[in-house]
């Protein structure tokens, strides 16, 4: 047993292993101030919720309080390991400023009230608007952090009960492109790969995926392979010098907004050199000829010019990817939140299709998620999809859903794809959505162009309900605030980015009058008097297990089949991958083995979309294109970004996250070790750009775009020239200003971003705004507070290293068997 400062060493100690071997066990644990395992009353099984990795853990309970966490050695995802956010983030649960009573707005002020009063206000408003306008007045904006049971119930209540098409989640910002890219290539959502592909891959290509900071335990797995015999080679595409880039055999740092030409050049080289599997393509794919025609136009020389990347690096990356025997590819926000998001992510799928690298160990494709339960928002119909990956454009699928819900088919809106988040806010701006229920998310900090978002949410004519666990910048703008229970205070299931389902049990009571999200939705449905077509209550369950059983039925026969799972089974063995059914009782490690897909026209989730316009492909067109349900190779042309640098705004601004924080820091900002590791906003710039402007480490800068301005201290980092980076975590809840910036002195990166989204996935673009920079004050010798352990590591001077000291020491127990 060792003790390691997990702020200074976020990935802990190495346990090297070789290709095809089992990843060794290392159990990480952290207990509150001086407690030992002997002091713990109970250990309650769960999994991590501050990222999408889904690491199995046990919650330590003493005297009815959460006092720590310990990784589960036998869990397939983490083999005992936990990341810094998991080790320390739970402390936020015990924070004294949790929301504990419902609030309603009276005379402009939010005042405490009881549940009856708050829910009557909510239900009264919904009744009034349904009477006056109909379901088009009602919108729901949810999250990627609830449980299956919550989402499925919400989807039923909103789509089936109220009959609105306006349901989406903040997953639109994090995972929409993952889903869209999978639907384009395989006509259905569903992660093809498995985390165990790390164990045998010989090349790992990471596209816009700073896994070292977003999924620390997955990176730990990769680091252990890198430290072992016959390590894999890494290819990294990222404009920042991330920990991944530092380990990479090839690091491509393209100009923001140019991922499509870069991918086309890689595919150009793969096709030109014959590094593809013609037999696989002939048997299992359609659309290859069009890809050949399209990528013909993008030799490495052309891409090198557009992307500003050395031509020999493109060739070398293509050689590694093209000659790999077991290629694992992962994709995240560097692609999803950038220009031409889906078109770029689809080209990664194309590499796997043309190389026939799907469904075999090491040949993994991981279109990652950002949030812990984003996968479930997608599956359960709470994010702009119908439940069970049903196709909104296939009448038989809607009829089947109506059967499961015992409703008439016309009650379920399916005239168009469910409304996406950015459009929901547009309808609210226009005044046709007049009731917006926001659940577990903080759009007043996380959506682009915050001045606009604040003005939408602040409208008198819009009734805003916010369900959350802390007061936030968004609750400040609410008409009703509902206090919710969080992880550890309620029971439910959730699924990580490689389809692993965990049961997370209730460990302690929620504070005050806070209620589980499921109970809030059940109460809402009851008060609203929602009924099925026989006049029976629409929602047939009253607890989490009942909701899970309901969801299982809805998923039956669909790709995300949960029918082989149960609470009892997950209590026996937590962490099983769907589909899990009679045919696959132990779950399914990889999808699409033997080139079999879920793409048949009568079975698929979506017929696809136009890569430039986003217009849906019709059923007739799809049947002509892909009658036999093969994989679809979709080519894409390059279009320049919508906002390019100018004389006035010479930089390209990208936003992103740091290892130590999650979203708008509502939890991580209340965990002392995490908050101390990254206490305030910073801005990154390359050494050359800083020198050209006479700027130094720690100088206070103003970063501005046509939308607003932000002040931040400068960190001179390894970012590519011409680009500035701002972390998106920092809003105003813990500043003196409260809910919003005083006098325009902003610190939220989204003051600056533009309202624009990918036409296919509808994911907002956070990575191509044109920005200007000027110095407000010199540093006076003190550096910025950016972490030194991560992509924000300094490249000049020697700012003090990021450490956590004794308070951040966690246990590490290497070895043992599961």
Partner 1 sequence: MKLDLAIEELHRSENELYTVLLSMSDRHKVDHEVFYVTRDMARWSEQHVAELAEAGREFGLELDPEAKHPAGLLESLQHKASELTGRRSAPGLLLLADLRHLYREAGGTALDWELLAQGAQGAKNKELLDFAERCQPQTLRVSTWAKAKLKESSPQVLAS
Rounded least distance, CB 613 to partner 1, Å: 4
Got the DSSP string for 159-210? IIII--S-EEETHHHHTHHHHHHHHHHHSS------GGGGGT-SEEEEES--
- Under rule CB under 8 A, residue 467 binds partner 1: no
Rounded least distance, CB 732 to partner 1, Å: 25
> How would you list the strands of the sheet with 480-483, edge to edge?
109-112, 103-106, 480-483, 463-468, 435-439, 138-142, 167-169
Describe the crossing of helices 176-186 and 341-354 by its angle, rounded to 10 degrees: 40
| Nearest CB to partner 1, comparing residues 52 and 165 | 165
- Under rule CB under 8 A, residue 406 binds partner 1: no
The binder of partner 1 chosen from 141, 427, 524, 651 (CB under 8 A): 427
For residues 505 and 501, give the distance between their C-alpha atoms in angstroms, rounded to a whole number: 13
Rounded least distance, CB 288 to partner 1, Å: 18
Binding-site string for partner 1 from residue 472 to residue 491, where x marks contact by CB under 8 A and - marks none? --------------------
Which of 169, 163, 153 minimizes the C-alpha distance to 525?
Answer: 153
For residues 628 and 591, give the distance between their C-alpha atoms in angstroms, rounded to a whole number: 18
| Nearest CB to partner 1, comparing residues 616 and 645 | 616
Which residues have C-beta within 8 Å of that of residue 803, sequence separation ≥ 6?
5, 7, 8
Rounded least distance, CB 755 to partner 1, Å: 5
Rounded least distance, CB 126 to partner 1, Å: 15
Rounded least distance, CB 753 to partner 1, Å: 12
Using the contact rule CB under 8 A, the part of the chain among 53-61, 174-182, 424-432, 487-495 near partner 1 is: 424-432
Residue 284 near residue 595 (C-beta atoms within 8 A): yes
| Nearest CB to partner 1, comparing residues 45 and 160 | 160
Rounded least distance, CB 11 to partner 1, Å: 40
Measured CA angle at 224 (ends 77, 25), to 5 deg: 50
Which residues have C-beta within 8 Å of that of residue 246, sequence separation ≥ 6?
none
Number of residues binding to partner 1, judged by CB under 8 A: 31
| Nearest CB to partner 1, comparing residues 107 and 132 | 132
Helix (H) or strand (E) holding 84: helix 84-89
Rounded least distance, CB 385 to partner 1, Å: 15
- φ/ψ of 603, rounded to 5, equals -110, -25
Residue 539 near residue 529 (C-beta atoms within 8 A): no
Site for partner 1 in 118-157 (CB under 8 A): 133-134, 136-137
| Nearest CB to partner 1, comparing residues 129 and 203 | 129
Binding-site string for partner 1 from residue 620 to residue 639, where x marks contact by CB under 8 A and - marks none? -------------------x
For residues 327 and 325, give the distance between their C-alpha atoms in angstroms, rounded to a whole number: 6
| Nearest CB to partner 1, comparing residues 415 and 646 | 415
Binding-site string for partner 1 from residue 717 to residue 756, where x marks contact by CB under 8 A and - marks none? --------------------------------------xx
Using the contact rule CB under 8 A, the part of the chain among 41-49, 415-423, 489-497, 529-537 near partner 1 is: 415-423
- φ/ψ of 496, rounded to 5, equals -85, -170
Rounded least distance, CB 294 to partner 1, Å: 12
Using the contact rule CB under 8 A, the part of the chain among 259-267, 429-437, 480-488, 743-751 near partner 1 is: 429-437
| Nearest CB to partner 1, comparing residues 415 and 736 | 415
Rounded least distance, CB 47 to partner 1, Å: 36
Q: Bridge-partner residues for 104, per DSSP?
A: 111, 480
Both structure tokens of 712 = 């931040």
Using the contact rule CB under 8 A, the part of the chain among 344-352, 412-420, 508-516, 775-783 near partner 1 is: 412-420
Helices (H) and strands (E) in the chain, counts: 26, 29
- Under rule CB under 8 A, residue 431 binds partner 1: yes
Helix (H) or strand (E) holding 711: strand 708-717
The binder of partner 1 chosen from 205, 324, 327, 422 (CB under 8 A): 422
Rounded least distance, CB 402 to partner 1, Å: 18
Rounded least distance, CB 487 to partner 1, Å: 35
Rounded least distance, CB 393 to partner 1, Å: 10
Rounded least distance, CB 483 to partner 1, Å: 31
Q: Going by DSSP bridges, is the β-strand pair 56-62/42-47 parallel, antiparallel, or unpaired?
A: antiparallel
Which of 437, 461, 443, 466 minimizes the C-alpha distance to 140?
Answer: 437
- Under rule CB under 8 A, residue 759 binds partner 1: yes
Site for partner 1 in 161-200 (CB under 8 A): 165
| Nearest CB to partner 1, comparing residues 126 and 773 | 126
Rounded least distance, CB 427 to partner 1, Å: 6
- Under rule CB under 8 A, residue 313 binds partner 1: no
- C-alpha distances in Å from residue 220, one per residue of 14, 16, 53, 68, 295: 8, 10, 12, 21, 35
Got the DSSP string for 414-440? -SSSPPPHHHHHHHHHHTS--EEEEES
The binder of partner 1 chosen from 362, 757, 785, 793 (CB under 8 A): 757
- Under rule CB under 8 A, residue 426 binds partner 1: yes
The binder of partner 1 chosen from 36, 230, 430, 646 (CB under 8 A): 430
Give the 3-state secondary structure of 557-604: CCCCCCCCCCHHHHHHCCCEECCCCCCCCCCCCCCCHHHCCCCCCCCC
For residues 27 and 71, give the distance between their C-alpha atoms in angstroms, rounded to a whole number: 6
| Nearest CB to partner 1, comparing residues 206 and 424 | 424
- Whole-number CA gyration radius for the chain: 25
Q: Going by DSSP bridges, is the β-strand pair 2-5/809-814 parallel, antiparallel, or unpaired?
A: antiparallel
Site for partner 1 in 774-793 (CB under 8 A): none
Site for partner 1 in 577-616 (CB under 8 A): 610, 612-616
List helix spans (H) across 91-147: 115-132
- Under rule CB under 8 A, residue 644 binds partner 1: no
- Under rule CB under 8 A, residue 36 binds partner 1: no
| Nearest CB to partner 1, comparing residues 27 and 447 | 447
| Nearest CB to partner 1, comparing residues 28 and 393 | 393
Using the contact rule CB under 8 A, the part of the chain among 209-217, 421-429, 492-500, 768-776 near partner 1 is: 421-429
Rounded least distance, CB 609 to partner 1, Å: 9
The binder of partner 1 chosen from 106, 415, 460, 646 (CB under 8 A): 415
Which of 695, 729, 716, 710 minimizes the C-alpha distance to 769?
Answer: 710
For residues 130 and 108, give the distance between their C-alpha atoms in angstroms, rounded to a whole number: 25
- Under rule CB under 8 A, residue 417 binds partner 1: yes
List helix spans (H) across 228-365: 243-247, 259-272, 278-284, 288-295, 300-307, 311-323, 333-336, 341-354
Rounded least distance, CB 139 to partner 1, Å: 11
| Nearest CB to partner 1, comparing residues 178 and 462 | 462
| Nearest CB to partner 1, comparing residues 273 and 432 | 432
Rounded least distance, CB 128 to partner 1, Å: 15
| Nearest CB to partner 1, comparing residues 416 and 691 | 416
Residue 225 near residue 670 (C-beta atoms within 8 A): no
Give the 3-state secondary structure of 510-562: CCCCCECHHHHHHHHHHHHCCECCCCCECCCCCCHHHHHHHHHHHHCCCCCCC
**What residues make contact with partner 1 under the rule CB under 8 A?**
133-134, 136-137, 165, 413, 415-417, 419, 422-423, 426-427, 429-432, 610, 612-616, 639, 642, 755-757, 759, 762
């Amino acid at each position: 047993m060792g003790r390691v400062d997990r702020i200074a060493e976020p990935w802990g100690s190495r346990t090297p292993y070789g290709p095809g071997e089992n990843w060794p066990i290392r159990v990480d644990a952290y207990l509150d101030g001086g407690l030992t395992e002997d002091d713990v009353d109970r250990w309650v099984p769960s999994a991590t919720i501050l990222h999408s990795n889904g690491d199995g853990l046990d919650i330590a309970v003493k005297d009815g309080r959460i006092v720590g966490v310990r990784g589960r050695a036998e869990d397939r995802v983490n083999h005992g390991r936990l990341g810094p956010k998991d080790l320390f983030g739970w402390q936020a649960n015990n924070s004294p400023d949790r929301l504990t009573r419902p609030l309603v707005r009276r005379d402009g002020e939010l005042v405490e009230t009881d549940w009856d009063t708050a829910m009557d206000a909510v239900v009264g408003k919904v009744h009034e608007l349904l009477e006056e306008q109909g379901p088009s007045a009602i919108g729901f904006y949810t999250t990627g952090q609830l449980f299956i049971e919550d989402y499925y119930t919400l989807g039923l209540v909103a789509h089936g009960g109220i009959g609105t098409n306006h349901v989406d989640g903040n997953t639109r910002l994090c995972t929409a492109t993952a889903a869209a890219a999978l639907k384009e290539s395989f006509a259905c959502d569903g992660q093809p790969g498995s985390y165990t592909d790390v164990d045998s891959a010989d090349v790992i290509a990471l596209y816009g995926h700073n896994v070292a900071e977003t999924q620390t335990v997955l990176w730990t797995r990769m680091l252990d392979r890198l430290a072992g015999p016959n390590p894999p080679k890494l290819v990294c595409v990222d404009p920042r010098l991330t920990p991944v880039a530092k380990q990479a055999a090839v690091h491509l740092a393209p100009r923001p907004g140019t991922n499509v030409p870069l991918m086309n050049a890689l595919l150009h080289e793969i096709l030109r050199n014959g590094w593809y599997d013609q037999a696989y393509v002939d048997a299992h794919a359609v659309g290859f000829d069009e890809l050949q025609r399209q990528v013909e136009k993008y030799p490495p020389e052309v891409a090198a010019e557009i992307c500003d990347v050395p031509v020999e690096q493109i060739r070398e990356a293509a050689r590694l990817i093209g000659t790999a025997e077991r290629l694992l590819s992962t994709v995240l926000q560097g692609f999803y939140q950038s220009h031409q998001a889906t078109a770029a992510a689809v080209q990664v799928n194309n590499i796997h299709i043309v190389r026939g690298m799907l469904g075999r160990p090491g040949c993994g494709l991981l279109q990652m998620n950002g949030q812990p339960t984003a996968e479930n928002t997608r599956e359960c119909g709470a994010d702009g999809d119908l439940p069970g990956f049903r196709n909104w454009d296939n009448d038989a699928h809607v009829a089947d859903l109506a059967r499961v819900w015992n409703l008439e088919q016309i009650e379920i809106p399916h005239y168009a794809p469910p409304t996406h988040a950015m459009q929901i806010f547009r309808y609210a701006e226009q005044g046709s959505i007049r009731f917006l229920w926001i659940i577990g998310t903080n759009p007043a900090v996380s959506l682009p162009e915050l001045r606009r978002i604040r003005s939408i949410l602040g409208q008198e004519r819009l009734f805003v309900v916010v369900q959350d666990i802390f007061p936030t910048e968004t609750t400040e703008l609410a008409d009703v605030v509902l206090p919710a229970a969080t992880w550890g205070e309620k029971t439910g299931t959730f699924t990580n980015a490689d389809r692993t389902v965990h049961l997370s049990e209730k460990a302690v009571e929620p504070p005050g009058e806070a209620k589980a999200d499921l109970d809030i939705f059940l109460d809402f449905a009851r008060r609203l008097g929602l009924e099925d077509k026989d006049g029976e209550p629409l929602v047939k369950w009253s607890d989490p297990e009942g909701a899970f059983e309901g969801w299982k039925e809805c998923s039956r026969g669909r790709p995300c089949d949960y029918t082989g799972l149960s609470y009892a089974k997950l209590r026996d063995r937590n962490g099983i991958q769907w589909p899990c059914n009679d045919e696959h009782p132990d779950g399914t490690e990889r999808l699409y083995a033997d080139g079999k897909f879920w793409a048949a026209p009568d079975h698929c989730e979506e017929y696809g979309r136009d890569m430039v316009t986003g217009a849906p492909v019709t059923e007739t067109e799809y049947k002509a294109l892909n009658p036999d349900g093969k994989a679809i190779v979709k080519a894409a042309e390059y279009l320049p970004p919508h906002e390019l640098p100018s004389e006035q705004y010479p930089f390209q601004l990208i936003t992103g996250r740091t290892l130590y924080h999650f979203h708008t820091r509502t939890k991580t900002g209340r965990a002392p070790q995490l908050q101390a590791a990254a206490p305030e906003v910073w801005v990154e710039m390359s050494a050359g750009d800083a020198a050209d402007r006479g700027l130094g480490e720690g100088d206070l800068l103003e970063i501005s775009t046509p939308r607003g301005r932000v002040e931040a201290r400068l960190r001179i980092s390894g970012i590519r020239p011409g680009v500035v980076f701002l972390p998106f975590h920092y809003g105003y809840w813990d500043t003196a200003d409260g809910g919003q910036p005083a006098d325009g002195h902003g610190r939220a990166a989204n003051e600056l971003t533009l309202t624009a989204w990918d036409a296919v996935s509808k994911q907002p673009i956070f990575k191509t705004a044109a920005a200007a920079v000027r110095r407000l004050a010199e540093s006076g010798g003190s550096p910025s507070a950016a972490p030194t352990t991560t992509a924000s590591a300094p490249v000049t001077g020697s700012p003090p290293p990021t450490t956590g000291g004794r308070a951040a020491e966690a246990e590490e127990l290497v070895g043992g068997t599961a």
